[in-house]
């Protein structure tokens, strides 16, 4: 009687082989994705640290950079954001229908600086809508910029000054401006930094009223 164990070989069917192959592919895909994600997280962490360090160096070097710039360029950066100064500005906008050009409208903006500071930057959102609140058009306009140049760079807004400009000039499906209303929203406002914490107007008055120095040496007379 033969007591040796009998070895039985089972052949894999097509479906079982296909299932094993798909399982191997899925496992390899999961492992590859895990390796890529881990590598990406490490790479992003290293790059983010480099970016943060670069930003810190740039911020720490801003004072030295501003001092090294020419006076005209340094003055452009010598300002600060002051949203509450918007109360000193009167801004009105009006949309009119151009004659002999049916449907073409023009939006005019007027700004009055009633305060005592120089507005170095004034950004506004001008919206033209119907009386029911349906928006026809909107645009971002610069009411004041650090310097005056072409392409809507209108320059700083001085204390007590009044400024007019055309915000938009386009064709709309309207026949009367009574159907329209224009809204203006201030999106950013920056004020020029005056010396010694005083306003620009006060600093100018004090400099004009400053008496001459009596201790200054008198000019030598020619014999």
pLDDT at residue 6 in the model: 61
Which residues are CB-neighbours of 106 under 8 A, at least 6 positions away? 95, 96, 98, 166, 168, 169
- Is 121 in contact with 191 (CB distance < 8 Å)? no
Fold of the CATH domain 81-192: Immunoglobulin-like (2.60.40)
Joined tokens for residue 195: 């010396």
Q: What's the distance, Cα to Cα, between the start and end of the chain in Å?
A: 149
Joined tokens for residue 48: 């983010």
Q: How far apart are CA 136 and CA 134, in angstroms?
A: 6
Taking only the tens place, the pLDDT of each residue in 103-161 is 678 889 999 999 999 999 999 999 988 878 888 888 899 999 988 888 888 999 999 99
More confident residue, 105 or 176: 105
Taking only the tens place, the pLDDT of each residue in 88-98 is 999 999 888 77
Closest C-alpha among 222, 220, 221, 133 to residue 181: 133
pTM of the shown model: 0.57
């Amino acid at each position: 009687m033969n007591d040796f164990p009998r070895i039985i070989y089972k052949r894999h069917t097509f479906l079982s082989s296909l299932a094993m192959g798909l399982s191997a592919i899925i496992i390899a895909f999961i492992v590859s994705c895990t390796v890529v994600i881990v590598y990406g997280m490490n790479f992003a962490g290293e790059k983010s640290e480099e970016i943060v360090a670069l930003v810190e160096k740039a911020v720490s070097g801003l004072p030295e950079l501003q001092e090294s710039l020419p006076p005209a360029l340094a003055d452009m950066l010598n300002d600060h954001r002051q949203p509450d100064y918007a109360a000193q500005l009167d801004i009105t906008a009006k949309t009119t229908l151009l004659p002999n050009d049916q449907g073409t409208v023009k939006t005019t903006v007027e700004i009055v600086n009633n305060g005592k500071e120089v507005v170095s930057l004034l950004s506004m959102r001008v919206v033209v809508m119907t009386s029911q609140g349906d928006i026809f058009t909107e645009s971002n306009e610069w009411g004041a910029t650090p310097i005056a140049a072409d392409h809507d760079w209108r320059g700083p807004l001085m204390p007590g000054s009044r400024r007019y400009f055309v915000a938009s000039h386009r064709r709309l499906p309207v026949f009367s401006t009574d159907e329209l209303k224009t809204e203006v929203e201030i999106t950013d406002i920056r004020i020029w930094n005056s010396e010694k914490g005083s306003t620009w107007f006060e600093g100018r008055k004090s400099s004009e009223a400053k008496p001459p120095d009596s201790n200054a040496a008198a000019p030598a007379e020619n014999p």
